[in-house]
Every structure is written in C-alpha cells, then in structure tokens.
C-alpha cells in the first residue's frame, strides 16, 4: 500500500472543523508544552517564507488522513471543468484523532506566517512550539556542506538538544513530504523497534533496486538511506550520548572527504554502517521519491478510485 506520493494539487485551503483554536506555544523552547502519551510529535525545519507554504501543504495531507476536514462544507470543493484527476479516499475510515504536537524550527521570516496560518486553521488537539532557528544556527553552520538543503537538514542532527527532554519520540519530516495514509500507522513503527534501535529511515529509492529488496544487503545499500523522513527515539538517543556520536562521526568524514555532499543523511549513513544495531529499517513505501525515475516501482499496489463526479475535487 502506498503511503507517500499522492499529490494534493487541489488542496488550496484547509477547511477546518468547527473546533477551538489551537493553542499557540511560545517561540521559546523552554516554555511548558501540553501533550500526553498519546500525542504524536512531528518536527519540521523551515528557513525562508517559501518554506511555510510547503510545510502547510504537508500538514494538510497529515490532517486529511486523520479525518480532520469538513467534507460537506461547500467551501471544501472546487469545480474544474473536465477534470480527470483520481481522488484519494473522500471519507477516511479513521475514527481516532490522536493529538499532535508540531515542533517547528523556523527563521525570523517564517515564524510570523506560521503563527498566523496555524492559528487560523482552528484545530482541536493540534498544538505547536516554534523554535528560533537563529538560536541554534551555530550548532551546524560551521559544517562544510555542498548539499542544497543546507542548515534546514543539518539541524536535524541536533534535535536531542532542541526538543524538550520529556519528548521521547518524534517523526522528523522534510517540508516536501506528501502523505497518503494515516501518519499514526507510521508512528506505530516505534513499537517495532528493538531495545537497541534509536532511529528509523527508509532506503534511498534511486538505486538499481527501487523496490527496496536489494539482495545480499544486510544493513543498507550503497545508495544509503534517505533523510527526508525519520523516526527518532529521542530518549534512547540521549542515553546513548547522541551528540558525541554524530559529532565524532562527522569529524571522521570531514577528515577523509573535506566536506559533506549529502548533508545529514551522509552522517547518519556512516553511523549506521558503524553501529547497525541502532538502525530500524522503515518500509520504502513511506518514502516514495516521486522525482526519481524509479519511483513507479514503489507506487501503490492498489489505486484510488475515480471520483463519482470528476468535476468536483475535495480540498
């Protein structure tokens, strides 16, 4: 079953349910947050105004598969003549709306727009904390890195020092991820971790084995893992002194190669090769890279049904 890759081009505006406005958390990470053991924690990094819209599109797909939109509201439909788009399920079967807490690290240009947009959505059980990217910039800006993702990706190496210590687990997502299933199912993969595993990543898809079944591979393939989506068991990472582990691994890489070419995932890949017992393999259908030529190999085994009225698209 496909999990990522269904494009919601028609999601122009989230149609919120008539529920209380989400509580805005302080931009200071030290302020007490509100969550419980059922809360799903998500992390995203934003650097620049253009990242806000991308992040909001990602969140729309997360919320859609939690059945948090008003399907019968006329504002939730847009008419496109002669549309031939296939629809993802109109009525989600999910009945349990688990609370979310968004951990968003953003620069000064992004934070005001994030504040405004998230406040206007008005969703019950969706809270957030905004962290200042500038406050944590110097943790990674010294690292020679030629990857286009820059600071936004590297900062994920330091989440054990940014997210409060009473947060045990978090899903770290890039802002260009599109979900095609309930994210609670991905969160449940934490329950499948062994006692030693501290993080989960999917294999890189653009390899000679796009179905992620490369033979004779015990750990990860030559193409490595993709850092766009990660399951991070923060409490275990802290116990293992993750800061020391990733830093010493990075220094070894820089001494050998002079700079990073694949940002944070290059460091993660090296950690996995040295300590394979720490790694949990996330199924590759959770990380379909649609830009890649081989993406079709990981597309769904079942397709969405066409709309009964193809000129009406749910937004």
CATH number at residue 87: 3.90.550.10
Average pLDDT score over residue span 71-98: 49
Establish if 2 belongs to a structural domain: no
Query: What is the tally of structural domains in the chain?
Result: 1
Higher-scoring residue by pLDDT: 288, 307: 288
Kindly list the distances between the CA atom of residue 246 and the CA atoms of 76, 144, 174, 220, 272, in Å, as whole numbers in the listed order.
45, 15, 20, 18, 11
Which of 140-154, 230-244, 245-259 has the lowest average pLDDT? 140-154
Q: Model confidence at 185, in pLDDT bands (50, 70, 90)?
A: very high
Please tell me the least confidently modeled range out of 16-30, 81-95, 170-184, 194-208: 16-30
Residue 19 lies in a domain: no
Burial class (CB in 10 A: 0-12, 13-18, 19+), 95: exposed
Question: How high is the pLDDT of residue 228?
Answer: 86
- Ranking 138-142, 156-160, 216-220 by mean pLDDT, the lowest is 216-220
Residue 120 lies in a domain: yes
Tell me if the pTM is above 0.85.
no
Lowest mean pLDDT across 91-105, 208-222, 251-265 = 208-222
Position 194 pLDDT exceeds 70? yes
How far is 189 from 212, CA to CA, in rounded Å? Answer: 18
pLDDT at residue 144 greater than cutoff 60: yes
Asked if residue 154 belongs to a domain, the reply is: yes
Determine, yes or no, domain membership for 14: no
Question: What's the CA gap between 135 and 96, in Å, rounded?
Answer: 36
- Report if residue 7 sits inside a domain: no
268 part of a folded domain: yes
Domain encompassing residue 65? 40-314
pLDDT confidence tier of residue 83, bands split at 50, 70 and 90: very low
Position 91 in a domain: yes
Residues 6+ apart with CB under 8 A from 231: 169, 171, 186, 189, 190, 193, 199, 200, 201, 280, 282
Distance CA 118, CA 23 (A): 9
According to DSSP, the β-strands at 279-281 and 40-46 are: unpaired
């Amino acid at each position: 079953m496909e999990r990522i890759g269904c494009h919601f081009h028609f999601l122009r505006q989230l149609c919120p349910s008539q529920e209380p406005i989400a509580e805005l958390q302080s931009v200071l990470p030290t302020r007490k947050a509100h969550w419980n053991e059922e809360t799903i924690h998500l992390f995203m990094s934003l650097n620049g105004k253009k990242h806000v819209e991308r992040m909001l599109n990602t969140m729309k797909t997360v919320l859609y598969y939690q059945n948090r939109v008003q399907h019968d509201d006329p504002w939730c439909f847009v008419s496109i003549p002669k549309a031939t788009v296939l629809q993802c399920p109109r009525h989600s079967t999910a009945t349990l709306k688990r609370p979310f807490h968004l951990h968003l690290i953003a620069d000064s240009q992004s934070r005001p727009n994030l504040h405004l947009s998230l406040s206007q959505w008005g969703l019950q059980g969706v809270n957030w904390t905004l962290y200042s990217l500038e406050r944590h910039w110097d943790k990674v800006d010294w690292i020679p890195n030629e990857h286009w993702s820059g600071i936004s990706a590297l900062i994920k190496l330091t989440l054990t020092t940014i997210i409060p210590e009473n947060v045990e687990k978090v899903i770290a997502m890039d802002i260009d991820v599109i979900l095609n299933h309930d994210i609670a199912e991905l969160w449940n993969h934490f329950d499948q971790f062994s006692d030693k595993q501290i993080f989960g990543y999917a294999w890189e898809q653009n390899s000679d084995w796009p179905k992620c079944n490369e033979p004779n591979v015990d750990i990860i393939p030559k193409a490595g893992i993709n850092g766009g989506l990660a399951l991070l068991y923060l409490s275990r990472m802290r116990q293992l002194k993750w800061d020391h582990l990733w830093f010493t691994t990075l220094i070894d890489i820089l001494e050998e190669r002079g700079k990073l070419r694949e940002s944070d995932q290059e460091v993660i890949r090296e950690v996995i090769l040295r300590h394979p017992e720490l790694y949990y393999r996330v199924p590759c259908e959770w990380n379909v890279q649609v830009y890649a030529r081989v993406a079709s190999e990981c597309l769904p085994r079942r397709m969405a049904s066409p709309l009964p009225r193809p000129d009406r698209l749910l937004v």
